[in-house]
């Protein structure tokens, strides 16, 4: 137990230092002082009463626990990078740089580019002036597709070094910084200097992996070959985007994405299988750890996979001997040791998934297995119950245990809840050990004797086809994947606290199951009522609804037609605010908008769109033809094409029927964006993205008084509010904060939104928080 407390204190200190910045020598001095306090706690006689009272809470002196916390804080601050001229990062943004570097990982091939991770060696020239400056540091180079680049290549690159970009909803800079990368270079000129300069062992591993990948593509058709390459080798580049999305929506992406989740599951599977086949407990533990190690090497031994494998392997010790305290000690120590090596791991999603998944197995794996065996023994013979418990635990209970503890991590980072995962995982997980075993054997046999590998592939192909068909079928369930919006760290902490209390009292809860049945029924009834209410709330009521919400990047408009179709209009770039708002407003069983309109003409409208399309994929997209000329538009085109979303130009005169007499029209094109109008009976709404002069472009049938004006921040930037009054609007909806807004204007801050309900030519306006 002291190891658990010390490790937990160290991890808490790492987190504390990220919030409260002090130089690392200060943290270190405080840690040394705290050790002295702990020694005094043990030695001074008059503190015996304090030691007894504190001992009821923790198994070690408070000074030692505080020292562990302060040591974690000191380690975090000591790991902050301090760059000098011997580092590569200070040369970012200094103009054209020519430098030499070595490729330290296999190239990451994408549809339109190749990414190389480089270790810099020497700067050879700056802005055309020859120099010789030895440097160190990692860089990420983006190159055009093609080119025979390999691990261990020494290259000479010429281009501009830049800082990684900062997104509004996702910080790519922070993501790369956690991996020690602070520099990017995009599409440089490049020259090969030397082959095979890397580590001999890694060169052999990567060569074996590449050969296995080529053999798998010969043995299997697509997309089965792509799926098996992802499962066995961690190479996911050939998996179709639609299939990849289906795996995400059904909560089965851990099968192909080599991460902490599936490493933890594999560790549990190897442990259980080895325990049944090998009587000696310690030998079976060794075999299970070797199985994890072999799989780690097979998939390329990337840093994230090695971290997950180390965590899963070490924590097998506690779970194998059946003591959860030992498992918790091993897990906490492993996490603390990894963060001591790289404190930024605490914010790495892969690390969090590894830690939480393994925590679920330690907390609930063995107890759930025991409960399942007791339940089966009450209905079958002991031998039958024992035979059934193994497969039930391996293919369902272990997965359930890991899913329960990874749920808050998934909701916090991805804001998506897969309801179909509880059905998908029990269906697709049972064949996976055979897929991995026979698929690996077919690859090995095919590398030696191709006909033998082909014969084995006929045994694996039906299992791969079954996996794909099940995942694709379940992904089509309406409401199977629900976007839940932003989850705060506070609620994640409350969730883990509740799980901790449940884990401590799981046996007691099972004993009291008869009394809990009534409460469980009530909970199911309440949950069903909530789901039914959400479904009823989002059901069409025969009226047209217009919802307006102002985000930090621009106004957002959601339209619900009388028939229940959903259209979405956004003038800015989708961000976390918008995703959270839509998650609350979209019905639980209608998470996919029918259409998306992008009328803005600025390049910022493209920022964050790929992530938005991943969470809320629309049936079609109408976009301003002006933004199609920007370079970033290529990524949107690729994303829409991969997801099968029609991408159409938005042109003046287009009209979209909203049901009945209601319609949405593109009235005019202007520099800031398209001028849109909505008409329902005698009510008209104009969405203005430019200044008052833009209204001069309105058709004559739209120039009547009484129209509702929706203004953006750009509309008020260069024009006084009074200039809009010449148009005689009946109502103006504008963002709050602009000076001089008339009192009769409806000004919304970012905490409020307004809903307009159209019914037989009348309109009802309501503002809500």
Is the torsion defined by CA of 205, 209, 212, 214 positive or negative? negative
Instruction: Report, as an integer, the average pLDDT of 24-33.
Output: 89
Decide if 226 contacts 232 (C-beta within 8 A): no
pLDDT grade for 524, boundaries at 50, 70 and 90: low
- Under the banding of pLDDT at 50, 70 and 90, the label for residue 154 is very high
**Mean of pLDDT values over 659-663:** 72
Query: Residue range 393-418: average pLDDT?
Result: 78
| 8 Å CB contact between 462 and 374 | no
pLDDT of residue 157 exceeding 90, the answer is yes
The pLDDT value given to residue 701? 65
Query: 568 or 308: which carries more pLDDT confidence?
Result: 568
Find where tokens 């992008």 sit.
598
Label the pairing between strands 674-680 and 683-688: antiparallel
Structure tokens at 28: 């270190």
| 228 vs 733, more confident | 228
Name the residue with higher pLDDT: 79 or 744. Answer: 79
What are the tens digits of pLDDT across the range 196-247? Answer: 888 887 888 788 888 888 999 999 998 899 899 888 887 887 888 778 878 8
The secondary structure element, H or E, covering residue 39 is helix 24-43
184 vs 620: which has the higher pLDDT: 184
Task: Give percent above pLDDT 70 in the chain.
Answer: 72
**Banded model confidence at residue 601, pLDDT cuts 50, 70, 90:** low
DSSP 256-307: TS-SHHHHHHHHHHHHHHHHHH-S-HHHHHHHHHHHHHHHHHHTT--HHHHH
pLDDT band with cut points at 50, 70 and 90 for residue 446: very high
Of 627, 589, 629, which Cα lies nearest the Cα of 606? 627
* Residue 128: pLDDT band with limits 50, 70, 90: confident
Q: What is the pLDDT of residues 325-364, one digit of tens each?
A: 566 777 788 888 888 888 888 888 878 887 888 788 788 8
pLDDT of the residue at 113: 83
pLDDT higher than 80, residue 149: yes
Cα(545)–Cα(138) distance, integer angstroms: 52
Is the Cβ–Cβ distance between 215 and 443 less than 8 Å? Answer: yes
The dihedral region occupied by 84, where left means phi > 0, alpha psi between -120 and 50, and beta the remainder, is beta
- pLDDT tens digits, 398-407: 777 877 888 8
Distances from the Cα of 257 to the Cα of 230, 239, 247, 292, 296, angstroms: 7, 11, 10, 16, 13
Instruction: Report which of 439, 446, 432 is spatially closest to residue 214, judged by C-alpha positions.
Output: 446
Percent residues over pLDDT 90 in the chain = 13
Give the other-Cβ count within 10 Å of 702's Cβ. Answer: 17
**Does 108 have pLDDT greater than 90?**
no
Q: What is the pLDDT of residue 484?
A: 66
Instruction: Tell me which range, 5-14, 56-65, 368-377, 409-418, is most confidently predicted by mean pLDDT.
Output: 5-14
Average pLDDT over residues 192-197: 89
Residue 682 pLDDT exceeds 70: no
Bridge partner residues of 756 (DSSP): 546, 765
Q: Residue 135 above 60 pLDDT?
A: yes
CB 659 within 8 A of CB 681: no
pLDDT at position 517? 56
Better-scored residue on pLDDT, 701 or 75: 75
Lowest mean pLDDT, pick from 266-275, 344-353, 464-473: 266-275
Rounded to whole angstroms, how far apart are CA atoms 199 and 151? 9
Is the pLDDT at 318 greater than 60? The verdict is no
Which comes out higher in pLDDT, residue 434 or 149?
A: 149
What backbone phi and psi angles, to 5 degrees, belong to 624? -65, 125
For position 282, what pLDDT does the model report?
A: 73
> Which CA distances in Å does 41 have to 2, 4, 28, 35, 319?
16, 20, 20, 10, 34
pLDDT in tens, 355-368: 888 788 788 877 88
Continuous H helices in 58-154: 62-78
Whether the predicted pLDDT of 509 surpasses 70 = no
- For residue 184 the two structure tokens come to 């990017």
Q: What is the pLDDT of residue 355?
A: 81
Separation of alpha carbons 523 and 506, rounded Å: 18
pLDDT of residue 20: 83
Q: In 3D, which of 101, 305, 83 has the Cα closest to residue 188?
A: 101
- Predicted confidence at residue 348, as pLDDT, reads 81
Given this model, what pLDDT does residue 738 score?
61
User: What's the pTM?
Assistant: 0.66
Spatial contact of 649 and 637, defined as CB atoms under 8 Å apart:
no
Band of residue 439 on the pLDDT scale cut at 50, 70, 90 = confident
- 3-state per-residue secondary structure call for 86-113: CECHHHCCCCEEEEEEEECCCCEECCCC
Compute the distance between CA of residue 726 and CA of residue 705 in angstroms, rounded to an integer: 10
Q: What Rg do the C-alpha atoms of the chain give, in angstroms?
A: 30
- H/E/C letters for each residue in 200-244? HHHHHHHHHHHHHHHHHHHHCCCCHHHHHHHHHHCCCCCCCHHHH
């Amino acid at each position: 137990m002291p190891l658990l407390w010390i490790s937990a204190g160290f991890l808490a200190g790492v987190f504390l230092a990220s919030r409260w910045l002090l130089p690392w020598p200060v943290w270190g001095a405080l840690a040394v002082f705290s050790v002295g306090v702990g020694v005094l706690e043990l030695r001074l006689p008059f503190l015996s009463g304090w030691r007894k009272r504190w001992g009821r809470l923790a198994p070690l002196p408070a000074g030692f626990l505080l020292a562990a916390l302060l040591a974690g804080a000191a380690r975090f601050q000591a790991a902050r990078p301090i760059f000098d001229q011997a580092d590569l990062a200070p040369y970012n943004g200094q103009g054209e740089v020519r430098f030499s570097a070595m490729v330290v990982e296999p190239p990451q091939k994408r549809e339109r580019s190749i990414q190389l991770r480089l270790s810099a060696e020497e700067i050879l020239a700056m802005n055309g002036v020859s120099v010789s400056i030895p440097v160190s540091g990692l860089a990420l180079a983006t190159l055009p597709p093609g080119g025979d680049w390999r691990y261990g290549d020494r290259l000479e690159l010429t281009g501009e070094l830049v800082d990684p970009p900062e997104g509004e909803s996702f910080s790519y800079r922070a993501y790369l910084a956690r991996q020690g990368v602070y520099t990017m270079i995009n599409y440089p000129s490049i020259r090969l200097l030397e082959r095979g300069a890397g580590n001999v062992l890694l060169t052999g591993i990567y060569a074996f992996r590449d050969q296995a990948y080529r053999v798998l593509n010969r043995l299997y058709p697509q997309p089965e070959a792509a799926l098996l390459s992802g499962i066995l080798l961690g190479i996911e580049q050939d998996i179709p985007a639609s299939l990849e999305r289906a795996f995400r929506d059904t909560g089965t992406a851990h099968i192909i994405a080599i991460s902490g989740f599936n490493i933890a599951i594999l560790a549990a599977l190897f442990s259980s299988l080895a325990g049944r086949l090998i009587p000696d407990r310690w030998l079976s533990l060794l075999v299970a750890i070797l199985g994890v190690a072999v799989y780690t090497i097979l998939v390329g031994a990337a840093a994230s996979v090695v971290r997950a494998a180390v965590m899963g392997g070490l924590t097998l010790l506690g779970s194998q001997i059946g003591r959860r305290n030992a498992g918790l000690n091993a897990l906490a120590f492993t996490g603390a040791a990894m963060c001591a090596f790289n404190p930024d791991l605490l914010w790495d999603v892969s690390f969090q998934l590894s830690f939480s998944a393994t925590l679920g197995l330690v907390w609930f794996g063995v107890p759930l297995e025991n409960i399942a065996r007791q339940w089966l023994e009450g209905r079958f013979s002991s031998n039958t119950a024992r035979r059934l418990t193994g497969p039930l635990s391996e293919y369902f209970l272990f997965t359930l245990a890991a899913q329960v503890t990874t749920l808050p991590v998934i909701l916090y980072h991805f804001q998506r809840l897969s309801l179909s995962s509880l059905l998908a995982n029990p269906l697709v997980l049972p064949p996976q050990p055979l897929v991995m075993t026979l698929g690996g054997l077919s690859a090995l046999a095919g590398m030696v004797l191709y006909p033998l590998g082909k014969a084995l592939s006929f045994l694996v192909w039906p299992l791969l086809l079954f996996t794909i068909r099940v995942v694709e079928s379940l992904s089509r369930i309406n409401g199977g994947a629900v976007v839940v919006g932003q989850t705060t760290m506070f609620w994640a902490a409350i969730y883990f606290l509740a799980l901790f209390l449940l884990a401590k009292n799981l046996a007691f809860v099972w004993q009291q199951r008869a009394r809990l049945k009534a409460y469980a029924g009530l909970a199911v009834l309440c949950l069903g009522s909530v789901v039914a209410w959400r479904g009823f709330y989002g059901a069409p009521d025969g009226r047209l609804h217009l919802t307006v919400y102002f985000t930090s990047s621009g106004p957002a408009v959601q339209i619900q037609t009388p028939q229940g179709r959903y259209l979405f209009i956004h003038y800015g770039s989708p961000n976390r605010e918008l995703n959270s708002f839509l998650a609350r407003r979209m019905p639980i069983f209608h998470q996919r908008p029918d259409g998306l309109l992008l009328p803005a003409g600025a390049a910022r409208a493209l920022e964050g769109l790929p992530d938005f399309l991943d969470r809320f994929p629309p049936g079609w997209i109408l976009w301003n033809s002006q933004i199609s000329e920007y370079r970033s538009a290529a990524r949107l085109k690729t994303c829409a094409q991969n997801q099968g979303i029609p991408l159409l130009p938005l042109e003046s005169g287009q009209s979209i029927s909203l049901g009945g007499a209601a319609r949405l029209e593109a009235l005019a094109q202007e520099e800031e964006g398209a001028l849109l109008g909505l008409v329902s009976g005698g009510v008209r709404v104009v969405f203005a993205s430019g200044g008052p002069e833009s209204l001069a472009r309105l058709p004559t049938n739209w120039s009547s008084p009484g129209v509702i004006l929706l203004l953006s921040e750009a509309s008020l930037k260069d024009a006084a509010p009074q200039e809009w009054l010449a148009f005689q609007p009946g109502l103006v909806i504008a963002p709050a904060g602009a000076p001089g807004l008339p009192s009769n204007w409806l000004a919304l801050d970012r905490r409020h939104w307004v809903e307009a309900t159209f019914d037989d030519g009348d309109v009802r306006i309501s503002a809500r928080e």
